[in-house]
């Protein structure tokens, strides 16, 4: 090999090393298409992304596997959401809402002697239609109580069946350099046009029906449902979308308590972008969720 070719190889190897171990590219979490839920995360998988640990359990969710065997002291909490709960990949596994919520419940004196198990059912860009399909197929996993984290935009999102709509990669890149090129192309290229969307009111109706389906399923199993409304920073600044009123009216119509984080949230300082919490915001949301579900969990003093 000539000196020039060797220099090129050295440069490529150095760039690959920097992107993989310095930047944290080359190992994106993977999803697969699914006929029921549109897409799901590949189950039982570990990744490193942007320097953060991403662990997907056997249920396809970003959390540890539920411990087995179960104990009488187990208190299972189902948390339904999307990327707000999932945590995107800018948060480490230890910083996610599920992880911080587990820590809050473990420290709750009212649950002394209990083993809280937080079961996030949250995948990026999943809306009520995806979530209802997952619950219908996979069940409630023994939940004692459930919390739904919902935002206004969830009512406008519907599955369209396109690979381009999946917010995860479907195959792993061989090189971190290839991963970087993919991200740059994704950032600067125009998105692939999708099929025409149904009228907005039809999408609202479809998602409200899916919310009813989930609420009915939980009620039939005797599982209390709490609802937490998570706003965008635009909403905190006063720009309120029409879907917010639909969410509040839906909850009120079903007699459900709803925590409105426009009132109770940490403000813009808890956000990483328009909608996603940063580490401090995820911890704040987790504490609020823990406080909401804790009164519905039986004491373990007699277990």
pLDDT by residue (tens digit) across 113-159?
A: 999 999 999 999 999 999 999 999 999 999 999 999 999 999 999 99
Residue 9, CB-side half-sphere exposure with 13 Å CA sphere = 6
Question: What distance lies between CA 253 and its chain's CA centroid?
Answer: 26
- Cα–Cα distances in Å, from 56 out to 62, 66, 79, 121? 5, 12, 15, 11
Using DSSP, how many helices (H) and how many strands (E) does the chain show?
10, 9
Contact 94/111 with Cβ under 8 angstroms? no
What distance in Å separates the CA atoms of residue 295 and residue 37, rounded to the nearest whole number?
32
pLDDT at 277: 96
Q: Is 147 helix (H, G, I), strand (E, B) or coil?
A: strand
Domain boundaries, the chain: 68-159+197-296
pLDDT at 279: 96
Sign of CA dihedral 185, 190, 195, 196: positive
If we measure between CA atoms, which residue out of 95, 100, 96, 90 comes closest to residue 51?
A: 90
pLDDT at 152: 97
Out of 3.40.50.1370, 3.40.50.720, 3.30.870.10, 3.40.50.1110, which CATH number does the structure's domain 68-159+197-296 have?
Answer: 3.40.50.1110
Contact 119/59 with Cβ under 8 angstroms? yes
Quick count: other Cβ atoms within 10 Å of Cβ 203? 18
- Cα–Cα distances in Å, from 24 out to 49, 214, 230, 282? 5, 37, 29, 22
Per DSSP, which regions of the chain are E strands? 31-34, 38-41, 45-49, 52-56, 74-81, 115-122, 145-150, 224-229, 258-260
Q: Give residue-wise pLDDT tens across range 248-292.
A: 999 999 999 899 999 877 788 999 999 999 999 999 999 999 999
Of the given ranges (83-87, 127-131, 135-139, 164-168), which has the lowest mean pLDDT?
A: 164-168
| Greatest mean pLDDT among 68-72, 170-174, 279-283 | 279-283
pLDDT at 30: 97
pLDDT at 186: 79
pLDDT at 5: 66
Burial 166-187 (b: 16+ CB within 10 A, else e): bebeeeebeebbebbeeeeeee
pLDDT at 180: 87
């Amino acid at each position: 090999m000539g000196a020039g070719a060797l220099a090129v190889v050295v440069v490529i190897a150095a760039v690959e090393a920097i992107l993989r171990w310095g930047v944290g590219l080359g190992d994106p979490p993977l999803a697969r298409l699914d006929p029921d839920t549109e897409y799901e995360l590949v189950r039982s998988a570990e990744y490193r992304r942007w320097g953060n640990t991403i662990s997907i359990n056997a249920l396809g969710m970003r959390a540890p596997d539920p411990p087995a065997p179960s104990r009488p002291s187990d208190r299972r909490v189902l948390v339904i959401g999307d990327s707000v709960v999932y945590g995107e990949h800018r948060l480490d596994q230890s910083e996610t809402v599920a992880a911080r919520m587990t820590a809050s419940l473990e420290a709750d004196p009212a649950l002394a002697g209990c083993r809280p198990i937080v079961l996030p059912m949250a995948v990026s860009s999943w809306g009520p239609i995806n979530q209802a399909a997952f619950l219908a197929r996979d069940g409630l996993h023994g939940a004692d109580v459930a919390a739904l984290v919902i935002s206004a935009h969830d009512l406008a999102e519907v599955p369209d069946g396109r690979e381009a709509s999946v917010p995860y990669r479907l195959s792993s890149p061989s090189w971190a350099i290839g991963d970087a090129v993919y991200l740059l192309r994704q950032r600067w290229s125009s998105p692939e046009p999708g099929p025409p969307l149904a009228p907005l009111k039809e999408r609202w109706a479809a998602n409200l029906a899916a919310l009813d389906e989930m609420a009915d399923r939980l009620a039939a199993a005797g599982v209390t449902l709490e609802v937490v409304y998570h706003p965008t920073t635009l909403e905190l600044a006063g720009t309120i979308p029409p879907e917010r009123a639909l969410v509040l009216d839906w909850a009120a119509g079903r007699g459900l308590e709803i925590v409105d984080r426009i009132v109770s949230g940490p403000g813009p300082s808890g956000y990483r972008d328009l909608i996603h919490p940063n580490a401090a915001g995820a911890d704040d949301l987790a504490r609020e969720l823990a406080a909401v579900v804790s009164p519905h969990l039986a004491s373990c003093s007699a277990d």
